[in-house]
């Protein structure tokens, strides 16, 4: 009978350890903010998509730069920044900014959740909007 209680203690301790490790994994993978920052560029598109969970997804083209390899070739390179938006107000603002230069604050998570969007990058704030047609 003492052996059964010892087995029960071992099973209980192992179960608690597994639950703690699983909880820590889920927290760090899906809810811990891995990095945060600001990106600027032109909004290429902003859309609402999804079958069960409707999420706001967008893509921003960041300003390109020229490279010069040995003085011979120069090329223009630009980066795409794909992001998700969880706040409908921010998404509505960005939907009206197609072709405009914007500055966005974002948070990066290690994993994605269906209701948070398809990207690890989640935009949390629009810092500035510049209309290229207005010079003054």
pLDDT at 67: 60
pLDDT digits (tens, 9 = 90+) for 50-65: 999 999 999 999 876 6
Look over the chain and give the mean of its residue pLDDT values, rounded to a whole number. Answer: 87
39 exposed, middle or buried (CB, 10 Å; 0-12, 13-18, 19+)? middle
pLDDT digits (tens, 9 = 90+) for 95-119: 998 888 999 999 999 999 999 999 9
pLDDT at 7: 87
pTM score of the predicted model: 0.77
pLDDT digits (tens, 9 = 90+) for 88-98: 999 999 999 88
pLDDT digits (tens, 9 = 90+) for 13-38: 999 999 999 999 999 999 999 999 99
Cα–Cα dist 89/125, whole Å: 10
**Exposure of 125 in the CB half-sphere (CA atoms within 13 A):** 7
């Amino acid at each position: 009978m003492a052996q059964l209680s010892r087995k029960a203690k071992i099973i209980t301790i192992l179960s608690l350890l597994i639950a703690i490790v699983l909880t820590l994994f889920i927290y760090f993978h899906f809810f811990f903010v891995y990095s945060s920052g600001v990106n600027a560029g032109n909004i290429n598109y902003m859309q609402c998509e999804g079958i069960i969970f409707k999420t706001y997804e967008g893509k921003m083209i960041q300003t390109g730069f020229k490279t010069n390899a040995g003085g011979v070739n120069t090329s223009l390179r630009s980066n795409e920044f794909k992001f998700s938006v969880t706040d409908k107000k921010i998404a509505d603002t960005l939907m009206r900014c197609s072709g405009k230069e914007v500055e966005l604050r974002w948070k990066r998570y290690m994993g994605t959740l269906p209701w948070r969007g398809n990207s690890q990058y989640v935009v949390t704030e629009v810092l500035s909007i510049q209309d290229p047609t207005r010079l003054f």
